[in-house]
Amino acid sequence: MSERTAVVAGGGIGGLAAALALHRRGWDVEVLERAPAFGEVGAGISLWANGVRALEALGVGRAVRDRSMPEREAGIREPGGRWLSRADTGALERRHGSVVVLHRAHLLDLLREALPERMLRTGAEVRAVRRAGERVEVEHTGGVSRADLVVGADGIGSAVRRSVWPDAPGPRYAGYTVWRAVIDPGRPLRAGGETWGRGRRVGLVSLPDGRVYMFCVADAPAGGRAPDGEPAELGRLFSGWHAPIPELLAAAPEDAFVRHDIHELPPLRTYVSGRVALLGDAAHAMTPNLGQGGNQALEDAVTLAALLDRHPAVERALAAYDRERRPRTQMIARRSRWIGEATRWSSPLAVAARNTLIRLTPASAMPRALAPVLDWRPPT
Ligand SMILES: Cc1cc2nc3c(=O)[nH]c(=O)nc-3n(C[C@H](O)[C@H](O)[C@H](O)COP(=O)(O)OP(=O)(O)OC[C@H]3O[C@@H](n4cnc5c(N)ncnc54)[C@H](O)[C@@H]3O)c2cc1C
């Protein structure tokens, strides 16, 4: 059989993982990335056991483990510092495998380096996708590409989705904004876990190189920017919160924090049409509260390639992909949204009730509750 060809729109985590999964199964792939270079925001990413298994299936599990470290400190605290719950990371690891954290740029590099250079094209923005006989045609700023399969991995604002599903609902604002930074604390510091206040939240994650990935979340109008700069805004929002939050905010250079409003995609009725499949945020952009968006993109990629092997007819494989991936990713997006809503409560009574519930929940409940998300295995 002649080599099968695929165009992957978007060279983020999902697009590069899809390209690698297809390449490993003998496809000739062209990745079209609109940015002038492959890159990611300056932030960390948590990879859960399901995502790590997907990376192992992609042949980069070991490389990821070498550049990451297991998350040892997790749980939820009050702004004053008292722990409401402390995750038993050992039990979580024994039950599911560890959660590892690394810099996003490192994850992207590992995926990119596993692909032949000739498959990667930057500065190519996808504009439209259309059927061309038995194949699919992709119009982009560098010309027109044709392939047996097109994967739309071009993120939440996906041009592939808009082109193939012009009536699908667009992203909606979740009501809160996130600031992220990787900060050098200037001294050894063990940081981990989240702190939930009234409608505000901070998360800290230690990175393997001694730096700390910090994210801060607060309700805000969409598109808002602090008139006197984001560090000043963060100082106001999180003034008086427990150590080392003020220390890290003070150590962050003026431009360290990137700010993003959180949007999510309303559930799509399908992820596939003919020989076009959506993957990652293009298919199911979810709120980040469960830290699963990237993990799900990795699962999508591995599943898609495996199903294309199992069903030689592309349309049949894509129908199977839709059946397998849509219910799961939409269930995880729902769970992530619920968690986000609980962290936004600001009435003192509701927050007190929430915190009591967290305090009374045994640590052993967490591995059980996460089982439907983390128990995923790559298709054989
Ligand atoms: C604050 C925050 C924290 C998060 N934390 C975690 C976490 O800890 N763990 C986790 O698993 N997930 C996390 N996520 C989610 C995760 O970042 C995303 O789900 C993941 O990056 C999606 O990858 P993707 O490749 O599908 O999309 P993207 O990362 O958006 O990549 C899309 C790529 O396509 C390119 N592109 C866009 N349009 C075009 C076009 N028209 N033509 C060509 N190229 C195009 C873009 O330049 C980009 O490179 C977090 C998200 C946020 C916002």
- Report CA(40)–ligand 1 centroid distance (Å): 8
User: Per the domain annotation, does 194 fall within a domain?
Assistant: no
The pLDDT of residue 42 is above 90: no
Q: Strand locations in 298-365, DSSP E? A: none
| Higher pLDDT among residues 2 and 197, named by residue | 197
What is the layout of strands, in order, in the sheet containing 143-147? 126-132, 135-140, 143-147
Q: Is 14 in the pocket of ligand 1 (CB under 6 A)?
A: yes
User: Per the domain annotation, does 45 fall within a domain?
Assistant: yes
Look up the pTM and report it. 0.95
Helical (H) or strand (E) element with 94: helix 89-96
User: Per the domain annotation, does 185 fall within a domain?
Assistant: no
Q: Is 152 in the pocket of ligand 1 (CB under 6 A)?
A: no
The whole-number average pLDDT for the span 216-223 is 95
Residue 105 CB coordination number (10 Å): 17
Q: Which domain holds residue 107?
A: 5-71+98-170+265-341
Number of the ligand 1 atom closest to the C-alpha atom of 38: 49
Residue 89: its pLDDT value, please? 85
Q: How far apart are CA 95 and CA 375, in angstroms?
A: 9
Q: Is 44 in the pocket of ligand 1 (CB under 6 A)?
A: no
Q: Is 60 in the pocket of ligand 1 (CB under 6 A)?
A: no
Count of domains in the chain?
1
Q: Is 297 in the pocket of ligand 1 (CB under 6 A)?
A: yes
User: Per the domain annotation, does 306 fall within a domain?
Assistant: yes
Structure tokens at 340: 């986000």
Q: What is the pLDDT of residues 236-286, one digit of tens each?
A: 999 999 999 999 999 999 899 999 999 999 999 999 999 999 999 999 999
The whole-number average pLDDT for the span 26-37 is 97
The pLDDT of residue 135 is above 60: yes
Classified as helix, coil or strand, 217 is: strand
Q: What is the pLDDT of residues 340-372, one digit of tens each?
A: 999 999 999 999 999 999 999 988 888 888 899
Residue 351 CB coordination number (10 Å): 18
Q: Can you tell me which residue has the tokens 């699908």?
A: 168
Which of 7, 8, 13 most suits a substitution to test ligand 1, by most atoms within 8 Å of the C-beta?
13
User: Per the domain annotation, does 206 fall within a domain?
Assistant: no
User: Per the domain annotation, does 121 fall within a domain?
Assistant: yes
The whole-number average pLDDT for the span 80-94 is 89
The whole-number average pLDDT for the span 122-140 is 96
The pLDDT of residue 1 is above 60: no
Q: Is 120 in the pocket of ligand 1 (CB under 6 A)?
A: no
Q: What ranges in 238-313 are assigned the alpha helix state H?
A: 245-251, 281-284, 293-310
Q: What is the pLDDT of residues 115-125, one digit of tens each?
A: 999 999 999 99
Domain containing residue 115: CATH number = 3.50.50.60
- Report CA(251)–ligand 1 centroid distance (Å): 27
Residue 313 CB coordination number (10 Å): 10
The pLDDT of residue 295 is above 80: yes
The pLDDT of residue 190 is above 70: yes
Q: What's the chain's average pLDDT?
A: 94
Q: Is 295 in the pocket of ligand 1 (CB under 6 A)?
A: yes
Which of 45, 258, 262 most suits a substitution to test ligand 1, by most atoms within 8 Å of the C-beta?
45
Residue 143: its pLDDT value, please? 97
pLDDT > 90: what percent of the chain?
A: 84
Structure tokens at 353: 């009730």
The pLDDT of residue 71 is above 90: no
Q: Residue 316 — very low, low, confident or very high, per pLDDT cuts 50/70/90?
A: very high
Residue 178: its pLDDT value, please? 97
User: Per the domain annotation, does 144 fall within a domain?
Assistant: yes
Number of the ligand 1 atom closest to the C-alpha atom of 17: 25
Q: Whose CA is nearest to atom 19 of ligand 1?
A: 293
Q: Residue 2 — very low, low, confident or very high, per pLDDT cuts 50/70/90?
A: low
Residue 90: its pLDDT value, please? 85
User: Per the domain annotation, does 325 fall within a domain?
Assistant: yes
